[in-house]
């Protein structure tokens, strides 16, 4: 697939010229060594895209011509993952994995047993999601919300057609829960707990709000990795994949 970059002022007129002069342009020049005649993709991160061809390479920018434009429609199903804050740099890794897995919205959750903190806010997480979207050739950059408390997560449950909270105490496998009746779901939410696990109090709050407790399998995954595994399973079960 063609290399993808995001721009705020996406050129949309076929045959028009455009100066690509962001930090990404300098990366394309200095690291990727792009040259005249090469073709790549630009997107606004909200589904619109343009295929462009380089006709001039400058010191800090690329002059390109728009060859083709289009719009990618979002999937009929929207996925939200509520991710308990993991420790250290694993939150960044988590954002990368979830973005590559196709999530639409990521909600960092300050659970009772969360060790990690989003001390510097979510601005850096937005950058991580944007970079991971480029890497995975996504025309839609997922939204990363502000850190939510448990009460906020309970509120969000009511806004979704199917909510799965993964917990080792579950008696039903995810494949036993996500059956044909959920194939038409439009809003799916997955809740992933911290390394120390979701407390009984949190679990009961989620269940009372309508979430279904699911078992992912015998191995216990790291919190930062569990979201991608859950997304993969649900995508396959709902026939998105």
CATH number for the domain that contains residue 193: 3.40.1280.10
Whether residues 213 and 159 share a domain: the answer is yes
Task: Kindly indicate the confidence band of residue 116, based on its pLDDT and cuts at 50, 70 and 90.
Answer: low
**Is 104 found in the same domain as 49?**
no
Query: What is the model's pLDDT at position 5?
Result: 96
d(C-alpha 40, C-alpha 80), whole Å = 30
Residues 133 and 148 in one domain: yes
pLDDT tens-digit series, residues 55-85 = 999 989 999 999 999 999 988 889 999 999 9
Beta sheet of 187-192, edge-to-edge order: 143-144, 105-109, 78-84, 187-192, 162-166, 212-214
Residue 141 and residue 217 share a domain: yes
The total number of structural domains in the chain stands at 2
For residue 123, the model assigns a pLDDT of: 81
CB 192 within 8 A of CB 80: no
pLDDT, tens digit (0-9, with 9 covering 90-100), for 211-237: 999 988 777 788 888 899 999 998 888
Query: Rounded to whole angstroms, how far apart are CA atoms 209 and 206?
Result: 5
Domain carrying residue 41? 4-71
Q: At a CB cut-off of 8 Å and minimum separation 6, what does 161 contact?
A: 182, 185, 186, 187, 188
Output the pTM of the full model.
0.90
Confidence of residue 46 (pLDDT cuts 50, 70, 90): very high
**CATH code, domain carrying 20:** 2.40.240.20
Please tell me whether residue 177 adopts helix, strand or coil conformation: helix
SS3 98: helix
Residues 35 and 94 in one domain: no
């Amino acid at each position: 697939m063609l290399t993808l970059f995001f721009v705020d002022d996406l050129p949309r007129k076929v045959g028009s010229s455009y100066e690509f002069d962001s930090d990404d342009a300098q990366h394309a020049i200095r690291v990727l060594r792009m040259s005249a005649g090469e073709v790549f993709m630009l997107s606004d991160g909200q589904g619109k895209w343009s295929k462009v061809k380089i006709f001039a390479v400058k010191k800090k920018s690329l002059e390109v011509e728009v060859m083709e434009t289009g719009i990618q429609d979002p999937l009929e199903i929207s996925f939200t993952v509520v991710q308990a804050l993991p420790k250290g740099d694993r939150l960044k890794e988590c954002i990368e994995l979830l973005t590559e897995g196709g999530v639409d919205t990521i909600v960092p959750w300050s659970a009772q047993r969360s060790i990690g903190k989003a001390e510097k806010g979510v601005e850096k997480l937005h950058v991580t999601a944007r970079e991971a979207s480029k890497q995975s050739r996504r025309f839609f950059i997922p939204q990363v919300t502000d850190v939510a408390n448990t009460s906020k997560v309970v509120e969000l449950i009511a806004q979704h057609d199917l909510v799965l909270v993964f917990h080792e105490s579950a008696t039903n496998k995810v494949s036993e829960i996500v059956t044909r009746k959920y194939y038409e779901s439009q809003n799916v939410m997955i809740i992933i707990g911290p390394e120390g696990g979701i407390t009984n109090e949190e679990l009961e709050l989620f269940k009372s709000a309508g979430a279904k407790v699911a078992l992912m399998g015998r191995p216990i995954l790291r919190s930062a990795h569990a979201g991608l595994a859950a997304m993969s399973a649900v995508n396959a079960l709902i026939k998105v994949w």
